[in-house]
Structure 1
């Protein structure tokens, strides 16, 4: 079937309309009409080949919300008309220890990305959510609970699960002391989710100009990282700090803020970090860790939790033909806090 999409043809070209032939529906597949697609910072990186390995033409988008239009013969969990979602993964081996543990993102054979991945059966490049529809293996399709605003669900599939997963892995609960570095797309979800779990939440920022926003999202405190006295006073005062900053920065100033047996978890930056002294890590039995999205079961848990607590991201809706402007604005951090594409705007015209 021919599918209309938006794609980058190379690293320097703007995204533009593109038509591709979608693979045939397999017995365990679900076809989804895409209603909304979130715009992730990684979409920008992949389109511009910032990380290397981009396979052009590339159709980005891994925060997908839509409705089922057809199902394969063996599909049991979904029916036509269901509201569903797809995140960063569309396949994995399903038999290694990590897949069996529900951590498909760490599949020993490598997970298949929603876009810029390679289909396990055909070797064809996968195309993402900046398109009219998508075909996905049933096990990687998520149910959107009743009561959630479909137009705001999409960023939960990446920004949401990226921050929810460390909150769960490091056991955040009522009374936990959580710090969040950065207040962008990831950071604002970390604040909302940590507050929803009952944690005492502090946004750690270089300036005080985000204090009102931070508190409106559910933060209890704001710590200014350029205030040496405040940073000294805050030493050993967090059980968990989630670092959502997407660019290279000095992590060492945040390590002493973590309490004994606590963790500083990096979820935003891929690449090198500044030189780091091991002294505060060793002397406080502190952990410096990283975290990558979450597995399918945990992502479904996130959606169910957000429906129960009515936690949704703050979004700015855009048309498909505004995507290049959105990329430029995202580079300037000119979005509060996540772009979502109304896919009804993707038409032949």
Structure 2
């Protein structure tokens, strides 16, 4: 077994503490990664606080992982020692079902194996990237382009793919009007990626305090959703809306902003149910959809796209001792726009 330093939490109301966790010895197709950076996702907070259901503690979160390959199993062909690599929200799947065969492992019919808070094929509880090392089967490790620094690459493994996938699937591009709801870790990536795809991007945020950033990231306009006239002015405007907010919002009000055959895609995952008025859908043949990360093939595609277009998240690098403070600041929307843990401080 491989011993890794980590930061773990022991309950919903507990602080993070230093810990040691065991990683399995390398199987024939496994890759050992020395983690350099791990992003902090809102999903980490939901899970650590038990908001999405029962959690087995102690828990080591983190599914935005960037690091260096330090060892490989005897049968590994996709990666070699010294490679710059990443691991996202899942570390395995059945590989045999219809969805896995299509390269949509995130929708594995038997359930993908999450990077943390899951149980792998060895029967072990998975622990995430707030740690110095991780062992992952080679098929779930992606390559990071040379022109993207590892600290900036980490959030791409969740925030990047979570927004790229629906933009790609629903055809964001030239001639399409795209709105992004929320300007946080996911939202600012959605703006950058949609702009690079050629879409006309508008940000819908509670206030205008991040307007300058939104326009700099590629939005052509920015509106405050706290102002009622926003929904009147923009009614029937957008072909696609990406909702990145991890809190309950008035979905029906946002559906009114779609044009004929427009789609609102939810990528935020609030703990509370979202209500939809049927008349907000049927009046203009609108769709309300959801999207969850992306498959491994699409994740690599996203990384290559970001490398080509020089798209990186805006980050704030912190030490391991600052995780609790970072969680509080995320909940207070006090981060521009993604915290990334420097694992050398572990």
TM band (smaller chain): over 0.9
Gaps in structure 1 of 5+ consecutive residues:
none
CA deviation map 1:122-157 (0-9, x unaligned)? 211011101110000000000111111111010000
Looking at structure 1, the residues matched to 116 and 226 of structure 2 have their Cα atoms a distance apart, in angstroms, of: 39
Moved more, 299-308 or 143-152: 143-152
SS at the partner of 1:196?
helix
Aligned residues: 345
The question of 1:14 aligning with 2:23 is answered no
| Displacement of 1:207 | 2.3
Pairwise mapping of residues 114-129 of structure 1 onto structure 2 (< 5 A)?
A: 114-120=115-121, 122-129=122-129
Aligned to 1:242: 242
RMSD: 1.2
CA deviation map 1:163-217 (0-9, x unaligned)? 1110011011122110001101111010010001111000012322222121111
Looking at structure 2, the residues matched to 74 and 207 of structure 1 have their Cα atoms a distance apart, in angstroms, of: 53
Aligned 8 A contact 2:116 2:127 in 1: yes
Aligned to 1:98: 99
Aligned 8 A contact 2:13 2:49 in 1: yes
CA deviation map 1:299-332 (0-9, x unaligned)? 0000000000000000000001111111111111
The question of 1:52 aligning with 2:53 is answered yes
Looking at structure 1, the residues matched to 168 and 231 of structure 2 have their Cα atoms a distance apart, in angstroms, of: 26
Looking at structure 2, the residues matched to 273 and 60 of structure 1 have their Cα atoms a distance apart, in angstroms, of: 24
Aligned to 2:25: 24
The question of 1:276 aligning with 2:276 is answered yes
| Displacement of 1:273 | 4.1
The question of 1:108 aligning with 2:118 is answered no
| Displacement of 1:105 | 0.7
**Structure 1 length as normaliser, TM-score?**
0.96
Aligned to 2:295: 295
Aligned 8 A contact 1:92 1:111 in 2: yes
Looking at structure 2, the residues matched to 11 and 179 of structure 1 have their Cα atoms a distance apart, in angstroms, of: 34
| Displacement of 1:270 | 3.2
Looking at structure 1, the residues matched to 37 and 274 of structure 2 have their Cα atoms a distance apart, in angstroms, of: 38
Segments ≥4 residues shifted beyond 3 Å:
226-230, 270-275
**Structure 2 length as normaliser, TM-score?**
0.97
Gaps in structure 2 of 5+ consecutive residues:
none
